[in-house]
């Protein structure tokens, strides 16, 4: 089976049409994608048994190595090849304005030393993109889009009542990062680690909107087609008229296989999954500008305004890549919940959580 699907027992959620939901405003309809590995299925099982059992959850999709487009990557990629890819990615890409900066965010030797299974880690960088594309293709072509789509790691924990209460406040094209990372040396932000990325209904519509650049009809289409011509990460040659941005991102990810890195073109694939997602969200305006939301945008306000600032930190949860400034710990909020000890029943979002702690938290929250 390509994807494991779970349908909520709440039939009222499943039968109400999108336009009726806007009128009657019942609970949000949520779909969840969790990105894991077949080496530790107990993590996704614990997620599904705990917050995945919430009545608002319509579908729970579990991704692992068998969902990868590059299906043999996890079997055949060696540690030596990973380091060779890292070295190749460390070289400048001056032809592409933005890609050369993103290379600085790619894995350093010190970063790779901390990874136990570097080949498995690298192969997994394409998995969220592969999964998003396949779910849109196989499910959302026939079904209505959810109010929110959650994209999580398999060791992410979500306190559903609190998170749903928070998301219920917003009605627009927004993408929330459970922990938003801002890069000091360039105007860029991305979802940090495994605190989750949360896509609203309107952003999902933009992800799948087909672009016909010879006949643009909306501001979104016109801007996306202009941006495409800038070719900032080498994506232009993959675009075909009638393609969506989601398909373009998928084609970009799949175009240069890791196992054939010695035959890569001058682009390759030197992006973390979070960076790839953030590029298309920020640079192609998948979401409204962060400053349109109270508390959104750069903490330093208008003096740091830039157009490619589209991601929102959940409840203002932000960290800064690089040197930490005074008071930045206050800004981290949910970003601080990064192990079993620091993740309590009052936490909304947590990362690096064990299956047993997920179960313990779930039972504790039910008793409150």
Helix (H) or strand (E) holding 211: strand 210-211
pLDDT at 342 over 90: yes
What pLDDT does residue 187 have?
A: 80
CA distance 98 to 208: 24
Is 244 in contact with 230 (CB distance < 8 Å)? Answer: no
3-state class of 22 per DSSP? helix
Q: What is the pLDDT of residues 194-222, one digit of tens each?
A: 999 999 999 999 999 999 999 999 999 99
Report the mean per-residue pLDDT for the chain.
88
Binned at pLDDT 50, 70 and 90, residue 107 comes out as confident
Q: What is the pLDDT of residues 2-20, one digit of tens each?
A: 344 444 333 222 222 333 3
What pLDDT does residue 12 have?
A: 26
Domain boundaries, the chain: 11-207+270-366
Q: What is the pLDDT of residues 64-81, one digit of tens each?
A: 999 999 999 999 999 999
Q: What is the pLDDT of residues 229-261, one digit of tens each?
A: 999 999 999 999 999 999 999 999 999 999 999
pLDDT at 113 over 80: no
What pLDDT does residue 98 have?
A: 81
**What does pTM read for this prediction?**
0.89
Binned at pLDDT 50, 70 and 90, residue 177 comes out as very high
Q: What is the pLDDT of residues 299-325, one digit of tens each?
A: 766 667 789 999 999 999 998 865 555
55-70 exposure pattern, b = at least 16 Cβ within 10 A, e = fewer: ebbbbbbbbbbebbbb
Q: Give me 98's structure tokens.
A: 């933005």
């Amino acid at each position: 089976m390509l994807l494991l699907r779970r349908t909520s027992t709440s039939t009222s959620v499943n039968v109400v049409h999108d336009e009726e939901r806007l009128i009657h405003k019942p609970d949000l309809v949520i779909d969840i994608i969790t990105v894991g590995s077949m080496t530790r299925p107990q993590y996704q099982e614990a997620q599904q048994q705990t917050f995945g059992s919430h009545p608002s959850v319509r579908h729970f999709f579990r991704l692992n190595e068998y969902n990868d487009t590059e299906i043999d990557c996890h079997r055949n990629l060696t540690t030596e090849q990973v380091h060779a890819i890292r070295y190749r990615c460390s070289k400048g890409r001056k032809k592409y304005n933005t890609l050369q900066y993103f290379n600085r965010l790619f894995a350093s030797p010190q970063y790779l030393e901390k990874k136990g299974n570097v080949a498995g880690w690298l192969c997994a960088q394409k998995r969220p993109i592969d999964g998003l594309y396949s779910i849109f293709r196989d499910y959302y072509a026939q079904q209505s889009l959810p109010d929110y789509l959650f994209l999580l790691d398999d060791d992410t924990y979500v306190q559903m009542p609190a998170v749903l209460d928070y998301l219920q406040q917003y009605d627009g094209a927004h993408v929330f990062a459970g922990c938003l990372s801002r890069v000091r040396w360039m105007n860029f932000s991305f979802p940090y680690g495994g605190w989750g990325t949360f896509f609203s209904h309107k952003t999902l519509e933009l992800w799948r909107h087909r672009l016909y650049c010879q006949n643009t009809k909306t501001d979104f289409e016109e801007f996306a087609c202009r941006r495409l011509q800038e070719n900032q990460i080498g994506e232009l040659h993959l675009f075909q008229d009638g393609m969506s941005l989601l398909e373009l991102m998928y084609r970009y990810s799949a175009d240069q296989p890791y196992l054939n890195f010695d035959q890569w073109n001058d682009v390759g694939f030197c992006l973390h999954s979070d960076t790839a997602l953030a590029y298309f969200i920020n640079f192609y305006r998948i979401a409204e500008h962060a400053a349109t939301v109270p508390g959104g945008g750069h903490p330093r306000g208008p003096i740091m305004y830039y157009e490619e600032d589209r991601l929102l930190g959940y409840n203002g949860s932000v960290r800064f890549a690089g040197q930490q400034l005074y008071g930045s710990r206050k800004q981290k909020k949910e970003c601080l919940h990064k192990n079993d000890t620091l993740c309590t029943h009052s936490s909304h979002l947590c990362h690096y959580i064990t299956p047993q702690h997920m179960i313990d938290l779930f039972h504790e929250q039910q008793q409150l």
